[in-house]
Structure 1
Amino acid sequence: MLGYATIGSNDLPKAKAFYTALLAEMGAKVLMDVGRAAFFGIDMSKPMLGICTPYNQEPAQPGNGNMVALPGGSRAGVDKLYAKAISLGATDEGAPGERMPGFYGGYFRDLDGNKLAFFHMG
């Protein structure tokens, strides 16, 4: 159902470097770069994550209650991806662990304060 999601950045070159290194762990790369936005994914026909400077040219601000969750593939995958995000400068918002039966997730904030999670169901 999801085509793409975008999150804002106030330092696009820094955000691109962060997400290029992080999402490469999932096999993703920049599929489209239009200057003020870069879209990461595996294939243009699959959901993508976009990093952009806001269209209205106002500062990017993380939204309260907004979060993007990315599949980790397994519990070990969640652990690995979460650790990679932290090593790239992300801040902890909840270390990987079981949140409810069958749901395992690790939460972090990127360099601009956007909240993301890696998760595994099952």
Structure 2
Amino acid sequence: MAQIGYVCIGSNDFDRACGFYDALTAELGGKKLFPTPHGQMYRLGSGAMIMVTRPYNEAEAHPGNGTMLAINVDAQEDVARVYDKALSLGAACEGKPGPRGAFGDFAYFRDLDGNKLAVFYTDRGKKQ
């Protein structure tokens, strides 16, 4: 069974981005793992990893148009908690916490480089 191992997020201010993700991943129960030649690897709980990176070709990093990293949290109240933490770290609101249709609760924000992230909770597939 294939799984996503890690996602790269480009930054033009690497130290500032690492400060943001140090605090955000800690809020998610994750941690800083190890440096890479161009970046820093983080783990989200026991799941996927995020690498904050300087572009390999030394060009400017740009957020993807239509690209978003969505992080599934363990409890409905975690959506607002993580969103609030992100905003306190300087993230920009892209959608306040709340229900999105019948799927679950979501919140959206952009990190310090403009990369879009979502945090969400759903009990779909958990009920029997």
Task: Please give the TM-score of this superposition, normalised by the length of structure 1.
Answer: 0.93
The alignment yields a C-alpha RMSD, in angstroms, of: 1.4
Partner of 1:19: 21
Q: Cα gap change, 1:79/1:39 in structure 2, threshold over 3 Å: closer, same or farther?
A: same
SS of 1:54 mapped into structure 2: coil
The answer to whether the 8 Å contact 1:31/1:41 transfers is yes
Tell whether 2:86 aligns with 1:102: no
SS across alignment from 1:58: coil
In structure 2, what is the Cα distance between the partners aligned to 1:102 and 1:73? 15
Runs of 4+ in 1 over 3 A off after TM superposition: none
Judge which range, 107-116 or 67-76, deviates more. 67-76
SS of 2:99's partner is strand
Partners of 1:83 and 1:72 in 2: CA distance: 14
| TM alignment of 1:1-122, pairs within 5 A | 1-42=3-44, 46-122=47-123
Once the two structures are superposed, what CA deviation does each residue of 1:17-73 show, in whole Å capped at 9, x if it has no partner?
A: 001011101221111212421111057x74101100111111000010000011221
Mapped partners of 1:89, 1:26: distance in 2: 17
Q: Which has the larger radius of gyration?
A: 2
Structure 1 unaligned spans of 5+: none
Name the count of aligned residue pairs. 121
Is the Cα–Cα contact under 8 Å of residues 12 and 36 in structure 1 kept in the other structure? no
Instruction: Please give the per-residue CA displacement for 1:64-85, whole angstroms capped at 9, x wherever unaligned.
Output: 0000011221110011000000
SS at match of 1:116: strand
Give 1:13 shift: 0.5
Q: Answer yes or no: is the 8 Å Cα contact 2:104–2:122 preserved in 1.
A: yes
